[in-house]
Every structure is written in C-alpha cells, then in structure tokens.
C-alpha cells in the first residue's frame, strides 16, 4: 500500500480535477496532494511512520537509512539545478537564436535547415525544448515558401526533434542528472550519454532523409 500511495494520490487528483468538485475546497486539496512531488513526499512520510520503532537502536538504523538515501539526492538536485540555471542564462541571452538566424543565410532545404538549427541551438544553450521551439519558428517560413505537403512537414518536425536530441553536454541539466544518478565522472558522461544522445539524433535525421525520398 505504501508503494501504491503516490500513484493513488496522483490518479485521485487527476480525476477530481475533471469533475464539478475541481473549484471547491476538495478540488484544491486534491490538486495539491495530486502533485507528483507532494504525493511522493507524503508516501515517504508514511513509510517512515510505518517503520517507526520504540527501540532506540532501530530508530538509529532508520535515520541512517534516510541519511544514506537523501545524500545522493541532494547532490543530484544541486547539480541539476545549477545546470538548468546555466541553460536558462543562455536561453535568455538569445545566444541560440542569434546563431540560428545566421545559419539561415546558408540556403538549406527545410529538413536540413530544421535539423541544423535545432542542433546548433541545442549545443549553444542545452535545452532540447528551447531548441525545438526556436528551430521550428525559424524553419516555418522556409517550409511554407517551399510548399511542402503534410508528410514532408511531418518529416521536418521529426528532423527538428532529432537535432534537439543530439549533443547533450555540460550545459544541459539532463546531462548532470545522468552524471550524478549513475555516479559517473564528467568524462565518462561525455563518452556515454553525450555519444548516445548524438547517435540517437543522427539516426533520426538519417531516417528522415531516407523517408524524404519517398514522399
């Protein structure tokens, strides 16, 4: 039941949010406890309460277990938060958009332009979401002028997603999440996570190029 508690709280919150009770006190309470972080925190508290003991030695063992669990989580939150903050500085400074706009002068096809724009923005500022949104807004005029049909537009969208997936490195908060969660060094994360994400993006782009020959 303790394991199922967060799932039940999240599902309950989602169900109540779609009923007439959503705007009342019950709906407000359900929206709070239905938040994943709050639901997990409640479940954690219930687990500690369920495992409580009147024996002093057992209480010390429980506290040591909590300390051992919280220590790596704190490092993950700190490093990931710092990585996210650095990414946001780059996003707000407009570095990625400036780089992308200069790339448009190369006269590329919509698929290639979408992939390269997303890739360059991803490298510059780390955020896959920002890379996709910016690349899509900049690629749209090219795709619109080219008169692409629906399947071709879909391929442009996939190419943008592929570019935004590749090259996750030190300015991506996800990079540091993998780094701390798996207890890797920065060099090891670059050799594994960065290469894996890059291969994923390149594979997606190559698949789009092959499909573009058929539509």
Q: Based on the structure, what is the number of domains in the chain?
A: 2
pLDDT score at 100: 63
The pLDDT assigned to 49 comes to 87
Six-digit token string for 192: 């594994």
pLDDT at 95: 67
pLDDT of residue 161: 95
Closest CA to 158 of 210, 195, 107, 120: 210
Cβ–Cβ under 8 Å, residues 92 and 54: no
Q: Are residues 144 and 169 in the same domain?
A: yes
- Domain boundary residue, one of 20, 45, 72: 72
Residues 134 and 173 in one domain: yes
Alpha-carbon distance of 119 to 135, in angstroms, equals 9
Domain end call among 22, 41, 72: 72
- pTM for the predicted model, two decimal places: 0.63
Residues 80-125 pLDDT 10s: 677 667 767 766 777 666 766 666 677 778 899 899 989 988 888 7
Predicted pLDDT at 206: 96
Q: Is 113 found in the same domain as 171?
A: yes
38 in the same domain as 129: no
Average pLDDT over residues 135-156: 85
What pLDDT score does 83 carry? 65
Domain of 41, in residue numbers: 5-72
Per the CB < 8 A criterion, the answer to whether 123 and 167 are in contact is yes
* pLDDT of res. 90: 66
pLDDT digits (tens, 9 = 90+) for 165-180: 999 988 887 888 888 8
For residues 90 and 166, state if they share a domain: yes
Say whether both 194 and 107 belong to one domain: yes
The verdict on 127 and 158 lying in the same domain is: yes
Statement to judge: residues 142 and 97 lie in one domain = yes
Shared-domain flag, residues 14 and 84? no
Judgement on whether residues 49 and 122 belong to the same structural domain of the protein: no
Of 134, 141, 54, nearest to 92 by C-alpha is: 134
> Does one domain contain both 25 and 83?
no
Query: Residues 105, 138: one domain?
Result: yes
Choose the final residue of a domain: 13, 41, 72. 72
pLDDT digits over 155-164, tens only?
999 999 999 9
Give the pLDDT confidence score for residue 174 in this predicted structure: 84
């Amino acid at each position: 039941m303790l394991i199922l508690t967060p799932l039940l709280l999240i599902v309950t919150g989602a169900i109540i949010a779609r009923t007439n009770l959503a705007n009342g006190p019950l709906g407000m309470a359900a929206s709070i406890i239905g938040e994943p972080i709050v639901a997990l925190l409640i479940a954690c508290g219930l687990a500690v309460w369920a495992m409580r003991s009147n024996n002093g030695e057992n209480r010390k063992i429980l506290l040591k277990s909590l300390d051992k669990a919280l220590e790596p989580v704190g490092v993950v939150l700190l490093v990931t938060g710092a990585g996210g903050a650095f990414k946001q500085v780059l996003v707000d400074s407009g570095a990625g958009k400036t780089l992308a706009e200069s790339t448009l002068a190369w006269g590329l096809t919509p698929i290639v332009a979408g992939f390269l724009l997303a890739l360059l923005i991803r490298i510059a500022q780390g955020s896959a979401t920002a890379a996709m949104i910016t690349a899509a807004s900049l690629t749209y005029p090219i795709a619109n002028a080219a008169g692409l049909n629906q399947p071709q537009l879909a391929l442009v969208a996939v190419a943008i997603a592929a570019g935004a997936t590749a090259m996750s490195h030190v300015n991506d908060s996800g990079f540091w999440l993998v780094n701390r969660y798996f207890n890797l060094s920065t060099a090891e994360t670059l050799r594994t996570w960065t290469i894996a994400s890059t291969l994923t993006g390149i594979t997606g782009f190559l698949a789009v190029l092959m499909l573009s020959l058929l539509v």
